[in-house]
């Protein structure tokens, strides 16, 4: 490769890093105390980022832990563990702590997503600048910008473009052996497994759509391509199962496996109106439009299918003018089919489930896809849109003045999907957790921390534990946990203890437990073998302290910004309640 060919990728990477820094600019004045995005999934991600280095350095299982939801523990492979990102974040965590590491990995995820898309689009675009524009469309698309507010694992979307590179080499260019490309697919699949397994599952669907469209509309002989594909897929499957054996065994054969659906796949579907209506995460978002998009069924941070009317019209014009261009035809057809799939099992319009069945209904029952959220398929829609724009922009740039007018039209259309800079968030971190090693709590002691996590709220203890270096063995945790009835919960099973705590922290006033309820709370404390109770900064802190003071018959110790009841004694809380008949 010539120096010029090497220079372009380097410059593109620098530009994407600069763009990601600009998108997250609000945090870089205080990157160790504030993170880019909102509450509350990032706090969970910070704990997960630090867990892999902690587990490996302490000789623990990186895919299962009893440090949260003790004593039963959590199967982390059913959660957003991101072990590969944890390894990548090892140094940033050591330098600046878990919040700093999260911010760094967010920038890395966005920048690498654009860069790998650029590398893929160079194969189709006639000009490197066209490929750069296409990569930027993908990296700063409504999909990336929306998930960057909450979901590090989904924002780290650089593997799908590498899948595209390998498939292009396998099916179109055919310069390298299918066996070698199969190994590459298998290894990339393991990489994606260790970042976001959901994207791996939907990548299979996207690849299937690509192959189908190539066979039906590509006007190319597919016989040899299909033979190569069979060889590559067999090799990829073996490679994937061998290299990924440990995490796969932990997930499907290990303890605390999740059986019930982890997401409401009917609820989280692209709303038809989202194609033309922006969410608050777009820079140009009139209040009249966001008044509707805020009420989309899957919450607006999952509404990532916004193309905007100007870009939609431009894509239609491109389709009409460039239909004979095989590259454009394939990209637009694949993008359209995947957009329809993202609409989910039932069509949603303006937040209303119309009940009209959609194509995803035929796929959603398949293994693993039963857990996949349809609206997240838009990641591949944006890969297709970015590829289309890379091709046509490259052509217009090559024309010089002849394409200048069209480039101005493209710039105007893309302005409507520009993301708003990410919000900045922070929570109080008590000094108690920053000095955890000095607090005299044994590693085997289980602690209960208030506030308890809710379903997407009150996740501060996850970050506090990450700041403490993962040495906190918590009775609770914000993670997917199987329940006895087969359902799945993000906060664990409800007990008399958790019900009482949720009552207090919800602002319903103080609570004094007596009689059978008090005895059941004592049994819950014994069952979890809770040795210490910590009440941290929270909205109803005084009421929570009063609740536990009444239970234990003594006030807490105030230290390091928390209230702690050390070595709790539950013998005075009554006998074990009788077993239910």
Give dist(CA 313, CA 75) in Å, integer. Answer: 46
State the average pLDDT over residues 290-311.
94
Q: In 3-state terms, what secondary structure has residue 446? A: strand
Q: Residue 345 in contact with residue 360, Cβ under 8 Å?
A: yes
Q: Residue 439 in contact with residue 432, Cβ under 8 Å?
A: yes
- Nearest Cα neighbor of 468 from 567, 423, 525, 534 is 534
Residue 474 φ then ψ, to 5°: -95, 145
Q: Residue 391 in contact with residue 135, Cβ under 8 Å?
A: no
User: Would you give the DSSP letter of residue 173?
Assistant: I
Model confidence at 364, pLDDT cuts 50, 70, 90, reads confident
Q: Is the pTM of this model over 0.75?
A: yes
Stretch (H or E) spanning 448: strand 446-450
Q: In 3-state terms, what secondary structure has residue 553? A: coil
Question: What's the token pair of residue 66?
Answer: 């009893």
pLDDT of 4 reads: 63
Q: Say how many CA atoms lie within 13 Å of 130 toward its Cβ.
A: 26
pLDDT of 220 reads: 59
User: For 236-266, how does the pLDDT look when each residue is reduced to its tens digit (9 = 90+)?
Assistant: 999 999 999 999 999 999 999 998 778 888 8
User: For 21-54, how does the pLDDT look when each residue is reduced to its tens digit (9 = 90+)?
Assistant: 999 999 999 999 999 999 889 999 999 999 999 9
DSSP state string for 319-334: HHHTTT-HHHHHHHHH
Question: What's the token pair of residue 497?
Answer: 């203890």
User: For 187-243, how does the pLDDT look when each residue is reduced to its tens digit (9 = 90+)?
Assistant: 999 999 999 999 999 999 999 999 999 998 866 567 888 999 999 999 999 999 999
Model confidence at 3, pLDDT cuts 50, 70, 90, reads low
State the average pLDDT over residues 307-333.
96
User: For 113-142, how does the pLDDT look when each residue is reduced to its tens digit (9 = 90+)?
Assistant: 999 999 999 999 999 999 999 999 999 999
State the average pLDDT over residues 55-74.
96
Residue 256 vs residues 75, 78, 260, 467: alpha-carbon distances, Å:
5, 9, 12, 26
Whether the pLDDT of residue 1 is over 80: the answer is: no
User: For 450-501, how does the pLDDT look when each residue is reduced to its tens digit (9 = 90+)?
Assistant: 999 987 778 999 999 999 999 999 999 999 999 988 888 888 889 999 999 9
């Amino acid at each position: 490769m010539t120096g010029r060919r090497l220079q372009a990728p380097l410059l593109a990477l620098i530009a994407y890093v600069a763009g990601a820094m600009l998108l997250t600019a609000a945090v870089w004045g205080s990157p160790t105390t504030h993170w880019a995005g909102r509450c509350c999934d990032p706090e969970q991600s910070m704990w997960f980022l630090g867990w892999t280095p902690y587990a490996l350095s302490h000789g623990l299982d990186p895919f299962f832990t009893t440090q949260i939801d003790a004593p039963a523990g959590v199967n982390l492979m059913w959660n957003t563990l991101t072990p590969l990102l944890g390894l990548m974040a090892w140094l940033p965590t050591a330098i600046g702590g878990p919040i700093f590491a999260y911010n760094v990995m967010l920038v890395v995820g966005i920048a690498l997503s654009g860069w790998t898309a650029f590398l893929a689009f160079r194969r189709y675009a006639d000009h490197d600048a066209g490929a750069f524009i296409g990569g930027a469309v993908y990296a700063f698309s409504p999909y990336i910008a929306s998930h960057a507010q909450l979901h590090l694992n989904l924002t780290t979307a650089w593997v799908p473009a590498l899948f595209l590179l390998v498939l292009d080499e396998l099916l179109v260019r055919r310069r390298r052996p299918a066996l070698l490309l199969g190994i590459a697919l298998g290894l990339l699949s393991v990489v994606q497994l260790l970042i976001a397994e959901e994207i791996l599952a939907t990548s299979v669907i996207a690849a299937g759509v690509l192959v189908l469209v190539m066979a039906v509309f590509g006007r190319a002989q597919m016989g040899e391509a299909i033979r190569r594909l069979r060889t590559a897929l067999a090799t990829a499957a073996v490679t994937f199962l061998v290299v990924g054996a440990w995490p796969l065994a932990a997930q499907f054969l290990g303890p605390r496996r999740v059986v019930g659906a982890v997401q409401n796949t009917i609820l989280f579907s692209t709303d038809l109106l989202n194609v033309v209506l922006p969410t608050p995460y777009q820079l140009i978002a009139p209040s009249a439009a966001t008044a509707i998009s805020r009420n989309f069924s899957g919450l607006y941070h999952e509404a990532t299918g916004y193309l905007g009317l100007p870009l939609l019209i431009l894509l239609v014009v491109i389709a009409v003018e460039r239909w004979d261009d095989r590259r454009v035809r394939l990209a637009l057809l694949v993008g359209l089919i995947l957009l329809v799939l993202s609409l989910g099992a039932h069509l949603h319009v303006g937040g209303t489930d119309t009940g009209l069945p959609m194509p995803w209904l035929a796929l959603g029952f398949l293994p693993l896809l039963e857990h996949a959220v349809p609206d997240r398929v838009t990641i591949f829609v944006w890969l297709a849109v970015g590829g289309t724009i890379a091709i046509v922009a490259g052509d217009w740039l090559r024309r010089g003045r002849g394409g200048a007018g069209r480039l101005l039209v493209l710039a105007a259309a893309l302005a409507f999907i520009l993301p708003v800079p990410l919000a900045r968030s922070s929570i109080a971190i008590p000094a108690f957790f920053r000095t955890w090693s000095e607090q005299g709590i044994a590693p085997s002691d289980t602690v209960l921390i208030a506030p308890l996590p809710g379903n997407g709220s009150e996740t501060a203890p996850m970050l506090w534990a990450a700041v403490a270096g993962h040495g906190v063995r918590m009775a609770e945790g914000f993670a997917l946990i199987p329940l006895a009835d087969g359902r799945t919960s993000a906060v664990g099973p409800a007990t008399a203890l958790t019900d009482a705590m949720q009552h207090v922290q919800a602002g319903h006033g103080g609570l004094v437990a007596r009689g059978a309820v008090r005895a059941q709370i004592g049994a819950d404390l014994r069952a979890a073998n809770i040795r210490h109770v910590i009440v941290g900064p929270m909205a109803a802190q005084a009421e929570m302290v009063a609740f536990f003071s009444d239970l234990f018959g003594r006030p807490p110790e105030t230290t390091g910004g928390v209230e702690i009841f050390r070595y709790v004694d539950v013998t005075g809380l009554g006998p074990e309640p009788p077993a239910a008949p």
